[in-house]
Structure 1
Amino acid sequence: MRGRPAPAPLPSTTFRDDEKVFSHGGYQLLDAIAVPRFGDTRYWPADCIGCPANRKPSDWRFVFPQDDPLINLQLREYCFALLNPSHRVLRKSLIFLSAVPLSVATINPSMMEIRKVMHWGREQGLPADLGLWDPEDWHEAIAHKASQVEGAKTVAFHLTAIRRLRQLTAVITGISAFDDPWDDETAEAIGAKAYDEDSPSRDTLATPAIPPQTWWPLLRGAWTYIHTFAPDIFRWRDHFAQQMEPRPDAPRSTSARPTRAEETDTLLEEWLSTPGNAVPVHEADYQNTNAGTPMWTALSKMVTGGRSMNIFGATNTSSRPEQRRAIVLAAIGEGRVATVKAGVGRGRGFTAPSYIAPGTGPGVTQAQLDDDVRQWLADPSTLVPVHATDDHGKAGEPIWAMAARMIWGPTPPETHRKRYAKRFDLRHRTGAARGRMLMEAVAAGRAVPVDLGVGMGWRAYPLPCPDAARIQREDGTSAPWRTQISAAELAFELHMLRAAVYVFVSALTLMRDSEVQEIQRDAVRTYFGSPAVVSRKTKMDPARPELYWWIIEPVAEALAVLEQLSWHPTHLFVALAPPTGKQPHSEPGVHSEVEIDFFINGINTIAHRHGLAKIPPSHVRSHMFRKTMAQLAGREPDSEIALGLQLKHAARRAVANRITQA
């Protein structure tokens, strides 16, 4: 059964369907990205003006309802008018808005509020023309909103959206002009009344400052991570990354992409031209195979590196296999032969020995494996991973697979992880001998318990780090900030380092969250003879111009650290890991509130180990950094001296900086 088709869209009496949505607001349009048109009734993506790094792509678009053509048209007209405040139709209708349009991040939720008002009116049986509502209906709409949400600010935003609609009724189809039901009363006061709160005073600051008892430990902790811990974190990251690289003798995949015919011919020529390579032939008669017959299956795997076992098999469509066999027989005639005795009892129809991948066959002898274990244990800092819990009675027993990984490197994804662990198989003489080496080290106290129940496997294995930076503790003693670290713990430290840079840069540059997250590589410049960081201004400016913010040397060091942490080709604040095959792309940007909370909670969790002061729990957000710095520079005693110490040369240039205007 097919779904019911969507109702036909209604035409607008004020705007043409072919008009570009972003055309009369001073927008800086990006090349090669289509600009949505007013006639697009489903959604308007705003990618053409660039999505700020601190916004999700899913939030940077307008989505319109499809069930009611009239509401769809009205919401499109509402958004189009706010996105194009200098449009000739608005001026002709005596609607004069600010020349700088509101942000997509403001218009989109405002449109959603209008949609909720319309839906509530339909449920109450009110006229579809909102201009025909009585003042009492509007007061009930506000009371209903207050019953659904918490906070006077949310109600105030809801009311502001209604007032914007009232201002635009001349260009919105099907809505008559109506008077303001709340007269000149402010939206904040109306929101407060909806909750029986006292009306906000004009002297009340909407953005509070960060308390000093939180501000200073927060900045000191961030700077410690940037200046002291970062070199260690990067060194350990490189160490674990090197461990993740497969060793040259790691088993190769037998399920890789099959070779093409031309590639196979080239591989055969290269293999036969390599000195020392000899064609394996049967030493004795075996079942239906005569002595001296080439072992075609084994040779196929040798030539292709295990990717094919039938490059010499006869086919009805190609003569290449016959030509390859002729080349091999010619090599045998030249004496390039190695006789092999085929195994017995390996299954019916067996005509060739199984192919053994490089690194696991005759190329790696048992004596070499024994030497690898002895060499690994020869390092006094080596600890053998053992089971931390008594699951299945294995507490204190070596974790064979993890030990094998530490000795011989990681197994490739297509190789079963137990393959290396069989090198410690206690049922065989050689494996038991190597296993006894590990158990003797455990008996000598060289063991570290690893809890595999956390699901991290080898990532939970801790490695000693004797070269860690030393820190001064509160009791006056000096000690390394870490004595050991695992791959799982390193992931935590990398996240802490990124959060520390965000906190530090936001606090000491007076940049907004959107401006901080737009910082790209090589952003530190010289501006009027002083160091500065360049970024894009996105708030209240659709052209997104590049601006400069003067900085001090520690901020430049923090950005240099972030450049080492970021993998993105342009932006610095991005996800910690690059996208994988299942995630083809990753947009730049982080969640500022998550970064701040993660850093504060992280400091309070590890403060006793890292020698840092705990941060009193408090509400900290990115916009509060600007207010706190402004108060430090303008309200504290000796603020001029404090400003000179905090911003140094930036204070001398303050008269030319845009922050002076605020």
Structure 2
Amino acid sequence: MTNPPQPQTWPALTGFDPDEPVLPADRRVTDGPDPRFGDLPRWDLTASGLAPNLNAAQAHLRFDVYPDGWVPVAKTLAMAMLQPVHPVVRQAGIYRSNRPYKLKSIRHVLTELRYLAEWAATAGLSEELSAWTHADGEAYLASRKARSFSAGRSANDLLRHLGDFRGLLPNGGLSVQVSPWAARSSGEVKTPVIPPETFWPLVRACWTYIDTFAADITAARDEITLLDTRGPKYREVRPSTRDIDDALDAWLSSPEAFVPLHIYTLGRARAGDINWDGLGLCTTPGLSGTNFYGNRGPARQLRVRQAIGQGVPTRYGYSSVQPAAVERPDSTHGPWISGFDRIIVSKELTQLRNAAYIFVAIMTMMRDSEVQSLATGAIGTHYGAPAVTSTLHKMQPHGGTPQRWWVSEPVVTALKVAEQITLDENRLFGAVRESVHRDLTGFDQYEQIRSFVAWVNDHSPQNGLERIPATPLAPHMFRRTMAVITANEPDGEIALGITLKHNAVRALANATTSGYAAPTPEWAKEFEHHAKEAAAGELVADWARHAQGDHALRGPGATTFANGLADITDRAKTTVAIGNERMLRALLRDEFATIRLGTLNHCLGDPAKALCLEGASAAVKAGGPIPSMCQPATCRNSVITDQHLPIWLREESDLVDKLKDKRMAPVHRQRLETQLADVRKITHQEPK
């Protein structure tokens, strides 16, 4: 094995050109500004594609929040994270994953950098990070850990980034060595579960809106829209005073006459007062609410009140739609709402949109960004079952990746209701009303979930819905709660697997379908090629660390993996100049053609070494290792990198804590001790 190249052998750093585009052309997935490295005070990265559940401000990276000396550090960090395969980054000898960081991750790092700059000013340290000592880094980390668990983790992440990218940073980089974050974990999922007393009333309220109220709300909306077309703003000739009085008298003396009342208090409108705008829409031709004010207004108002006194009925709202009758919690029976007018229809349309959003998020277990990516026309079928097409954003390139989710018939109903009320064909859960004051393209999901609960409770029991307890709610809690429910119902794990089909749709489809849906050998090779290319891109970071003398590999397969990386280093010297990203990936792809990258370990994929295939038939072995039967601590295919190690350290810590229980049954203690011994084969192993 040859000696790995030393960092000082890399070409001299030239830095980023001030006119360098922050976003490469292939990363611009939508319209937006084209920021340059030298731009101040911010970079607007809208063109990179923002998940629909994020607001436009979250596409901005601001640099006017740092002291002047820290601005180059912030911009260089951001640029390197946005373009990890940029020639300048490679020339600096930095080989991390070729996958660009998400905007959220970059914003997180830059926010922590502000705290570091503030702490440095207090501690009397300059922005020249190369002058900092290891004790300085440890002091900052300790100060953040003392604040909170999350602050300590953020500080650890920032110091590691500064160390990883030190070859790029102006004035030299930070040479402080920071260990991987290995926080103790209880093993519990941190996302709260919605209590049953809140969850079931919420689901029932959403479905009632979708299944019962939606028809009334949309019918009233359509009717009021039609009435508006008969109003004065659509007439070319302005009616005379006599025409207005005749129209009012004709309406008040007609058999179908009524006087509409306000349903909702808003602005100058008071619930129970006469709705003059609504009355104007009832007449023929339609009048304006202003016709009941001014010089002739008092006399007309008097005639209306006299007509009420003479027997003309009043009615809440002015739509002819008769609300559906509901059974109320107090056993009474009656309409779910008193009537419809413009204000109440606008309010109810918003809550109908909220009900559909909550119901879809719960019943599909899609993430918030995925639900908000749904557009009109998303409903279809996949292998004969109802499915929707949306965009998967998590762990995907900028702009996301189209994906299908199988859904149930009630979800299809909810989505069809959402299609009827959205104003933007690209946003099924966007704005449902127009505004001249601001661009209402989307909605704040947290605010609107609270709004729906409050609206239901404010109108219970008339609406037939039981009150929903005031519990903190968020989209990620819907997914967590449904996971708990499906796991505890009969056949729940099967149901959960079907619901979470976006994690295994291709495997499931290939196993259960044939004919036209079966891939040809050529396409099968294409899919395998893309998988190998992706794996090679991730291995670039492992190769770079090994080539620079950073030995952090563990596991029974560590020596084999290290020898393969060393072989790549040798071939890179003789066949291609180091820094040629494309050729480097090709070498890695060929060397590790069977590798599978995982959360707990990497599997080298050699059937002859796989414990999971011991005793298996030749046909089974031909399919390669079986991930679900992996034994990472003992299989000769298993490789543990520094990315995997924190998980093993947490597992070791958890097992040690559990074994402190002196009341534990001997059989359970023996099982945990065996597990601990296996884990320590990794954590106590000398890195290769």
- TM-score by length of structure 1 reads 0.65
- 1:170 equivalent to 2:22? Answer no
Q: Displacement, 1:223?
A: 1.1
Distance change (3 Å), C-alpha of 1:648 and 1:45? closer
Q: Is the CA contact 1:398–1:439 (under 8 Å) kept in the aligned structure 2?
A: no
Q: Is the 8 A contact 1:101 1:540 kept in 2?
A: no
Aligned mates of 1:37, 1:249 — CA distance in 2: 48
Q: Is the 8 A contact 2:69 2:127 kept in 1?
A: no
1:596 — aligned with what? 449
CA contact (8 A) 2:33 2:44 kept: no
CA distance in 1, matches of 2:102, 2:455: 34
Q: 2:328 aligns with which of 466, 473, 478?
A: 473
CA 1:550/1:422 → structure 2, altered by over 3 Å: closer, same or farther? same
Q: Which amino acid aligns with 1:629?
A: M
Amino acid at match of 2:404: Y
Report the more deviating stretch, 607-616 or 86-95.
86-95
* Structure 1 unmatched runs, 5+: 1-10, 190-199, 253-356, 449-460
1:466-487 residue CA offsets vs partner (Å, 9 max, x unmatched)? 6212223335554321232343
Moved more, 224-233 or 400-409: 400-409
- Change in 2 beyond 3 A, CA 1:161/1:589: farther
Distance of 2:203 and 2:189 partners within structure 1? 23
> How much identity, in percent, do the aligned residues show?
28
Contact 2:30 2:48 survives alignment (8 Å)? no
Do 2:141 and 2:156's aligned partners in 1 also have CA atoms closer than 8 Å?
Answer: yes
SS in 2 for 1:547: strand
Pairing of 1:69-148 with structure 2 (within 5 A) = 69-138=68-137, 140-142=139-141
Separation of aligned partners in 2, 1:501 and 1:158:
40
Do the aligned partners of 1:465 and 1:482 also contact (CA within 8 Å) in 2? no
Measure the CA separation in 2 of the matches of 1:648 and 1:130. 46
Contact 2:153–2:181 (CA under 8 A) maintained in structure 1: no
Query: Within 5 Å, which residues of 2 pair with 1:47-66?
Result: 47-65=46-64
Match of 2:461 in 1: 608
1:227 counterpart = 2:227: no
**Does residue 510 of the first structure (1) align with residue 365 of the second (2)?**
yes
1:359 aligns with 2:212: no
**What pairs up with 1:496-507 in 2 under 5 angstroms?**
496-507=351-362
In structure 2, what is the equivalent of residue 522 of structure 1?
A: 377
Distance in 2 between residues matched to 1:472 and 1:161, nearest whole Å: 58
Match of 2:637 in 1: none
Tell me which residue corresponds to 2:23. Answer: 22
What is the letter of the counterpart of residue 397 of structure 2? Answer: P
**TM-score for the superposition, normalised by structure 2:** 0.63
Q: Equivalent residue for 2:508?
A: 656
Q: Secondary structure at the match of 2:283?
A: helix
Asked if 1 retains the 8 angstrom alpha-carbon contact of 2:422 and 2:430, the reply is: yes
Q: Is it true that 1:417 corresponds to 2:290 in the alignment?
A: yes
Q: Cα–Cα, structure 1 residues 402 and 546, in superposed 2: closer, same or farther, change >3 Å?
A: closer
C-alpha deviation, 1:465, in angstroms: 6.0
What do residues 622-644 of structure 1 show as CA deviations (whole Å, max 9, x unaligned)?
11222222233334454257659
Query: In structure 2, what residue type is equivalent to 1:519?
Result: L
Contact 2:280 2:287 in 1 (8 A): no
Number of the residue aligned with 1:549: 405
Pick closer, same or farther for the CA change 1:209–1:485 going to 2, 3 Å. Answer: same
Deviations 1:537-596 (A, max 9, x none): 22221252211111111111111111111111422122222343x54x54x332121122
Amino acid across the alignment from 1:72 = V
Return the offset for 1:134.
4.2
Aligned residue type for 1:107: I
Corresponding residue of 1:441: 308
Give the distance between the partners of 1:156 and 1:246, measured in 2 at CA: 63
The DSSP-based 3-state class of the residue aligned with 2:387 is strand
Amino acid at match of 1:598: S
Query: Hey, what does 2:475 align to over in structure 1?
Result: 622
Post-superposition, which runs of at least 4 consecutive aligned residues in structure 1 deviate over 6 A?
386-389, 394-402, 648-654
Contact 2:430 2:442 (8 Å CA) reproduced:
yes
Please say if 1:559 is aligned against 2:415. yes
Q: Per-residue deviation at 1:111?
A: 1.0
Pick one of 150, 155, 159 that aligns with 1:153. Answer: 150
Q: Aligned partners of 1:505, 1:473: CA distance in 2, in Å?
A: 25
> What is the distance in 2 between the residues matched to 1:120 and 1:533?
49
Map 1:136-535 → 2, pairs under 5 A: 136-138=135-137, 140-142=139-141, 152-180=149-177, 183-186=179-182, 189=183, 200-247=184-231, 358-360=238-240, 364=243, 369-375=248-254, 378-379=255-256, 382-383=258-259, 385=261, 403-404=279-280, 406-407=282-283, 417-418=290-291, 425-426=298-299, 435-436=302-303, 438-442=305-309, 444=311, 446-447=313-314, 462-463=317-318, 467-535=322-390
Code of the residue aligned with 1:597 in structure 2: it is R
Quick one: which amino acid aligns to residue 51 of structure 2? Answer: P
Distance change >3 Å, CA 441–CA 611, structure 1 → 2 = same
Deviations 1:59-97 (A, max 9, x none): 202222288554222111100111122334434544333
Partner Cα distance (1:592, 1:82) in 2: 29
The residue matched to 1:232 in structure 2 has which SS?
A: helix
Contact 2:53 2:372 in 1 (8 A): yes
Change beyond 3 A, Cα 1:21–1:638: same
Q: How far apart in 1 are the matches of 2:291 and 2:76?
A: 64
1:135 positional shift: 4.8
CA distance in structure 1 between the aligned counterparts of 2:353 and 2:291, rounded to whole angstroms = 36
Q: Give, in angstroms, the shift of residue 424 of structure 1.
A: 5.8
CA-based RMSD: 4.0
Aligned 8 A contact 2:279 2:318 in 1: no
Q: Distance in 1 between matches of 2:263 and 2:391?
A: 52
Larger Rg: 1
Change (3 A) 1:236 1:81: same
Contact 2:61 2:107 in 1 (8 A): yes
Higher helix share: 2
Letter in 2 for 1:441: I
Q: CA deviation at 1:104?
A: 0.8
- Cα distance in 2 for partners of 1:395, 1:606 equals 14
Hey, what's the Cα distance between the residues in 1 that align with 2:491 and 2:273? 65
Deviation readout 1:147-181 (Å, 9 max, x if unpaired): 8x7x5334433442333222211211124332235
Change (3 A) 1:223 1:167: same
Alpha-carbon displacement from aligned partner over 1:488-542 (angstroms, at most 9, x marks no partner): 3322211111111111111122221111111111011222222211111222212
Describe the SS at the equivalent of 1:116.
Answer: helix
Partner of 2:628: none
Q: State the 1:218 CA deviation.
A: 1.6
For residue 462 of structure 2, give the secondary structure of its aligned residue in structure 1. helix
Amino acid in structure 2 at the alignment position of 1:656: L
Q: Which amino acid aligns with 1:374?
A: S
* Contact residue 470 and residue 478 of structure 1 kept, 8 A: yes
Distance 1:411 1:143, change over 3 A: farther
Distance 1:495 1:401 in 2: 22
Which residue does 1:262 correspond to in 2? none
> Cα distance 1:406–1:464, how it changes in 2: closer, same or farther (>3 A)?
closer
8 Å CA contact 2:260, 2:274 repeated in 1: yes
8 Å Cα contact 2:216-2:321 kept in structure 1? no
Shift of the alpha carbon at 1:49?
1.8
Range with bigger deviation, 48-57 or 438-447: 438-447
User: Given the superposition, is the C-alpha separation of residues 211 and 404 from structure 1 closer, same or farther in structure 2, using an over 3 Å criterion?
Assistant: closer
Q: How many residue pairs align between the two structures?
A: 496
Distance (Å, rounded) in 2 between the aligned partners of 1:85 and 1:515: 26
**In structure 2, C-alpha distance between the alignment counterparts of 1:570 and 1:71, rounded to whole Å:** 40
Deviations for 1:286-323, whole angstroms, at most 9, x for unmatched residues?
A: xxxxxxxxxxxxxxxxxxxxxxxxxxxxxxxxxxxxxx
